[in-house]
Amino acid sequence: MSPVIPAVRPLPSARRGTWTFLHGGARRTCHVYLMADVDATRLKEARAASGGKLSYVSLLVKAAADVVAACPEARSMLQGGALRPRLAVLDDVDVKVLFDKTVDGERCVVAGTVHAAQDLSVLDVQNAIDVYKDAEVADTGPFRQVKKIQKLPLTLSRIAYRAAMGNAARRADIQGTFSVTSVGQEPVRAIFPMISGTLGFGIGRIADATVVRDGQVHIAPQFTLSLAFDHRVIDGALASEVLAHVKDRLETWEVS
C-alpha cells in the first residue's frame, strides 16, 4: 500500500510575524521559567468595581510595570553580539501584549505595545490595550508594522527584524521591556512564553481553588502566573523576587 502524501502549502503570510520573532531572536534567548499561584480575589473585586472595564491582563501589566520600574536589573536589555555583550538599562517600561487575531482566515498572534506603563493609571493601560484589541491587522492602524512584516519574504523579514533589534530602545519599542500573554480564555492552567527580551509573563485560567489564610482553608479564585527570563541578563534569585513582588501586588490590589 502506497503511503498517503500529506497536503503541503507555503507558510501563510499571517504566520510570518511569529516565524520572524522566533528566528530573529527569541530562539537565541536563554529561557528559564518560574511560576507562582496567585489569589485573584482582589483582582475580581477590582474588575467588578470597574463595571467589567478592567481586564486581568491590564491589571497584571500595571502591577508588573511598577515592579520592573523599581528594579534596574529587570529593566536591562542585552545588546551586542557574543564577543561584546552589553546591558542597556531602559528608563521606561514598555509592555508587549499579545493578541489573538485572524488574518486572511488564519489564526495568528500579534503584539501591541503599551508605552511607559509605569506612568499610566490602570485605566489608561486598559484604554491602550483596547486600541489593539479592537483593531484589525491592516495596512493602517496600530498593527500596520505587523502587516508589513507579513507581506515581506521570510528572508527579508528576518533581516529587517534583526536590524531593528540591534538598538535597545527600538527593541523595547517593538518587543517591550517585558511581555504579557494570556490563555485565560481556555481551561489551561499555564503558558510558558517565548521571549526575545529579558522578561515575559504568562497568565493561566482563573478557577476556584483551596487557599490557606491565617491558618484557615478557604475557596478562592486562583491562577498560575508564569515568568520567563533570560538567564544571560538576570539570575533566578532576582527573577524570583520580581515574580514574588508582582504576585504580592496582585493579591493586595487596592480597589478604588
Sign of the C-alpha dihedral computed for residues 226, 174, 233 and 30 taken in this order: positive
187 lies in a domain?
Answer: yes
Q: Does the residue 2 lie in any domain?
A: no
- With respect to residue 5, please indicate whether it lies within any of the assigned structural domains: no
Least-confidence region, from 86-95, 138-147, 152-161: 152-161
Taking residue 235's Cβ as centre, other Cβ atoms within 10 Å add up to 12
Please report which residue ranges of the chain form alpha helices under DSSP H. 16-24, 41-49, 56-69, 122-133, 144-151, 154-165, 168-175, 236-251
Amino acid at 247: K
- Residue 9 C-alpha cell reads as 502549502
pLDDT reported for residue 152: 85
* Residue 64, domain extent: 13-251
Lowest mean pLDDT among 1-15, 214-228, 236-250: 1-15
pLDDT for res 134: 94
Residue 177 lies in a domain: yes
CATH of the domain at 77: 3.30.559.10
**Which secondary structure element, helix H or strand E, spans residue 40, and what is its range?**
none
Q: Give the per-residue pLDDT at 145.
A: 87
- Rounded CA-CA distance 148/111 in Å is 13
Lookup: cell for 249 = 501586588
pLDDT tens digits for 173-227?
888 899 999 998 899 999 999 998 899 999 999 999 988 888 888 899 999 999 9
| pLDDT score at 187 | 92
Residue 45, in any domain of the structure: yes
All cell numbers assigned to 196: 526575545
pLDDT at position 139 is 92
Are the beta carbons of 128 and 114 closer than 8 angstroms? yes
pLDDT digits (tens, 9 = 90+) for 107-136: 999 999 999 999 999 999 999 999 999 999
**Does 41 fall in a domain?**
yes
256 domain residue, yes or no: no
* Mean pLDDT, the chain, integer: 91
Whether residue 3 lies inside any domain: the answer is: no
Q: What is the mean pLDDT of residues 66-76?
A: 96
Residue 198 CA neighbour count, 13 Å, CB half? 28
pLDDT at residue 23 greater than cutoff 80: no
State how beta strands 178-182 and 199-203 pair: parallel
Number of domains observed in the structure of the chain: 1
Q: Confidence class of residue 14 from pLDDT cuts 50, 70 and 90?
A: confident
How many other C-beta atoms can be found within 10 angstroms of the C-beta atom of residue 196?
24
In the predicted structure, residue 24 carries a pLDDT above the cut 80 = no
The pLDDT of residue 210: 87
